[in-house]
């Protein structure tokens, strides 16, 4: 469904050029919940933003449903982006708009008729359990409610892909758990492919089917979490999955006994 082929991205800084992403190739299947993990500066968010070309790669190609986005004219690219919702760490809600108006925003940009917008907004607020907050303003909402509004906004255009950039890092542990459960339900009930960038191992363990580990702009390892006996090979993956490896070892000792 999503295929990144040797994508790379440089940024100019006061100290010269910085290679944020270096020749990364990934395959993400339809229906996956796919994680990208690594420490700050590893290139995770830049890579995520290249999937919908919010960051245009300097090198390589980005295919979504067989279409190379890097070859599209601006008008066609904007149309393709409607199939990819995005949620962010800090919600990015418009403070002068109500909840329903925030959810409606992407539909307005897409040129959806008013009656259809209203219907779709109501559906999305029902999905995220915030129909009773339709006329509230973001300032009156909790962090978890704000993120659910952001999710509703991302769902409004009926995307097949949801890109999540550190969606829980601004939330407390209890709220994080509820948001992850909600994303899991979206994946299972609506069949939406979800890609999550995070530095939190608990997020990866809670929801992801596969995870790519990033370091210095490169994917150093991709792990299938469906295999309970996975064996990380890279040093950073072994460090990140240290607890899981210790648990595997303990379970092995118990099984031998």
pLDDT tens track for 145-198: 999 999 999 999 999 999 999 999 889 999 999 999 999 999 999 999 999 999
Q: Which of 107, 131, 158 is the last residue of a domain?
A: 158
User: Is the residue at 98 inside a domain?
Assistant: yes
Task: Say if residue 106 is in the same domain as residue 64.
Answer: no
pLDDT value of position 61: 97
* 216 found inside a domain: yes
| pLDDT (mean) for 60-78 | 95
Q: What domain count does the chain have?
A: 2
For residue 240, name the pLDDT band (cuts at 50, 70, 90).
confident
Taking the whole predicted model, whether its pTM rises above 0.85 is answered as yes
Quick one: pLDDT at residue 113?
A: 94
Instruction: Label the pairing between strands 33-37 and 16-28.
Output: unpaired
For residues 207 and 221, state if they share a domain: yes
Where a domain ends, among 105, 138, 158? 158
Domain range holding 54?
Answer: 2-83+162-169+195-256
Residue 112's pLDDT band, with cuts at 50, 70 and 90, is very high
- The token pair that represents 129 in the structure block: 């359990």
Pick from 113, 131, 158: which residue ends a domain?
158
Any domain includes 185: no
Share of the chain above pLDDT 70, in %: 97
**DSSP codes, 151-207:** HHHHHTT--SEEEEESTTTTS-HHHHHHHHHHHHHHHHHH--EEEEEES-HHHHHHH
Residue 231: is its pLDDT beyond 80?
yes
DSSP designation for 39? S
Residues 73 and 7 reside in one and the same domain: yes
Q: What is the pLDDT of residue 255?
A: 42
CB of 161 closer than 8 Å to CB of 193? yes
Whether residue 231 lies inside any domain: the answer is yes
pLDDT at 139 exceeding the cut of 80:
yes
Name the DSSP class of 58.
Answer: S
**Better-scored residue on pLDDT, 135 or 257:** 135
Going by pLDDT thresholds of 50, 70 and 90, the confidence category of residue 105 is: very high
Q: Is there a single domain that holds both residue 16 and residue 142?
A: no
Distance between CA atoms of residues 149 and 153, nearest Å: 6
Q: Are strands 33-37 and 193-198 parallel, antiparallel or unpaired?
A: parallel
Give pLDDT, residue 247: 72
């Amino acid at each position: 469904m999503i295929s990144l082929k040797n994508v790379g991205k440089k940024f100019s800084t006061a100290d010269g050029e910085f290679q944020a992403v270096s020749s990364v190739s990934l395959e993400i299947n339809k229906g996956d919940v796919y994680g990208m993990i690594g420490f700050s500066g590893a290139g995770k968010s830049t890579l995520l933003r290249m999937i919908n070309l919010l960051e245009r790669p300097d090198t390589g190609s980005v295919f979504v449903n067989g279409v190379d986005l890097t070859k599209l004219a601006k008008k066609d690219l904007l149309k393709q982006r409607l199939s990819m919702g995005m949620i962010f760490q800090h919600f990015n809600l418009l403070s002068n708009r109500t909840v329903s108006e925030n959810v409606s925003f992407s539909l307005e940009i897409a040129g959806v008729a008013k009656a259809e917008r209203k219907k779709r907004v109501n559906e999305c607020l029902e999905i995220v359990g915030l129909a009773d907050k339709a006329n509230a303003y973001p300032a009156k909402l909790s962090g978890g409610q704000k993120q659910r509004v952001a999710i509703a906004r991302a769902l409004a255009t009926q995307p097949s892909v949801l890109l999540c950039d550190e969606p829980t890092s601004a939330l407390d542990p209890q709220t994080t758990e509820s948001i992850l459960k909600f994303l899991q339900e979206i994946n299972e009930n609506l069949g939406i492919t979800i890609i999550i960038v995070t530095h939190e191992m608990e997020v990866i363990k809670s929801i992801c089917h596969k995870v790519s580990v990033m370091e210095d702009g490169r994917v150093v390892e991709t792990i299938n979490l469906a295999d309970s006996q996975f064996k990380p090979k890279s040093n950073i993956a072994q460090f990140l999955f240290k607890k899981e490896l210790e648990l595997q070892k303990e379970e092995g000792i118990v099984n031998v006994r």
